[in-house]
Amino acid sequence: MRAEQVSGIHAVTLTSHHLHNLANTVLYRTVVLDKEKDVFLFRRTVNDVRKASRLERTGEVAITLAFLRNAVKRLAITHAMHIDVAGVTLRKPGAKVSNSDIATIIAACSGAHIITIPYQWAHVLRDIGKTVEGLEGRETPGNFNVTELVLSSYVDLAKTCYTICPITQWQPSAPSTPIHSLPATPSTTRPSTPNPAMQRDFASGPSYLSPMFHHVTHLRIAEPAYAWFSPLAILDVFPSLTHIALPRRAHANTENDELFIGDVKAILQEPRMRMVVISIFSQIGVGADKEQVINRDTGGTLDIKDSTIWLAAEELRKGDRRLFVVDGHSGSWRKDWQGPAVVASPSGPENWWRKVLSA
C-alpha cells in the first residue's frame, strides 16, 4: 500500500518505529471485542504472538506476550455467543467462538484491571488455567490483576447445587389470569443462601476460589437473570469485594423480592462493603425508551418505582448511606464500551460507580 493511500494513525505509525510502538500502546490499552470477527482477529494475534515466543522470534515482532500483559489495561468482550429465550440458552447459528478462544485472550491480557464479559463465559474466567489450549510452561497464565469485573448477568460461579429448582421471574399476566405472582416455594425449603456445609465442600475444590477473582474489589452484575440466584453467595467467590451492583426485575415474584432484600441486608452487614447498588429493571420494554411496563389487567403502564422491590430497596437505603437504588437499562453494559472515544481515552469508558454516586 502506498503512503498516500494510508490515513489516520496507521499513516503516522509507518513513519517511525518508535511511533509505531507508541501507537500500539495507545490502541491496546483498551481492547473491545464487540463482534465475532473481532474475537477471532484478536485470538489470531495472540496465537501469532505465542508462536513467535516459542520460536524465540520476539525481536522480530512489535507485539509480544509481555507487551499484551503490560499494555492491555481494560478488556471488554461484548460479543455474546448465545441468546436467551425464556431462560433457555441457545447457540446463534454459525457461532464458532469457543471457551478456548475466550480463555486464550484473557490469559494473554492477564495485566488487565477491568474485564467485561457476557455471563455465558464467566466460568471461563473461573477456570482460566484449565481452558487455555496449547500453553507451554513459560506461557502459563501469570498473576491476574483484575480489580473490576462486569458480568452481563448472574451466573453461579460457586457451583452451588440446590436440590429445589429456582422460581422463574413473574411475567405480567393476561386479564383472564388473575394471578399476579407465581406461587413461591416456602423459604424454609428453598434457602436464599448456600448451605454452609456445601460451601465448605466447594471451597476445598480448585475451581471454587479462582485466582482470577482474588483481587476483584468492584463487581457489577449488569442485568437480571431469568431464574433466582442468591446475591449473598457471591461474597464467598470474591474475597476482596468492596463494591457490588445487583440487578433485580420490577413487578416480579414477590417471594424472591423478599429473599433478594434479605440477601442485600446480609451483604450490608459485611464491614468490607463500601458501596452496594441495586439496579431495578422493568419487565417489558415498550415505547420509545423501551423502559415502560404494560399492566395487561388495566392497559396502563407500571412504574418501576411503584414496585415492591423498589419500595423495599428505598426503605432499606434510608438506613444505610452505602446503598444506592437506580433505574436499570437493558444493554447499557455494552453501550458503555461503544465508540472510538472509549479506546482513545486513557481511562477508558466513564466510571460507572462515580456516575451512580453523582446521580
pLDDT tens figures, 265-322 = 999 999 999 999 999 999 865 555 545 555 554 455 688 999 999 999 999 999 999 9
Separation CA 285–CA 336 (nearest Å): 20
Query: 235 or 289: whose pLDDT is higher?
Result: 235
Cβ proximity of 222 and 139 under 8 Å: no
Is pLDDT of 89 > 50? no
| pLDDT tens sequence across 133-167 | 545 444 455 578 899 999 999 988 876 333 333 34
Q: How confident is the model at residue 50 (pLDDT cuts 50, 70, 90)?
A: confident
> Poorest-confidence range of 62-71, 100-109, 294-303, 345-354?
294-303
DSSP assignment letter at 121? G
* Coil/strand/helix, residue 168: coil
Residue with cell 414477590: 254
Q: What is the predicted pLDDT for the residue at 186? A: 36
Is pLDDT of 31 > 60? yes
Q: What is the predicted pLDDT for the residue at 223? A: 96
Instruction: Let me know if 191 is exposed, middle or buried by CB neighbors in 10 A (0-12, 13-18, 19+).
Output: middle
Q: What is the predicted pLDDT for the residue at 157? A: 83
Q: How confident is the model at residue 129 (pLDDT cuts 50, 70, 90)?
A: low
Considering the chain, what is the average pLDDT of its residues?
76
| pLDDT tens sequence across 172-218 | 444 333 334 333 333 333 334 434 433 333 333 333 467 889 999 99
Separation CA 270–CA 243 (nearest Å): 11
- Residue 110, number of CB atoms within 10 A of its CB: 20
Cβ proximity of 327 and 280 under 8 Å: yes
For the chain, give the number of residues.
359
Q: What is the predicted pLDDT for the residue at 201? A: 38
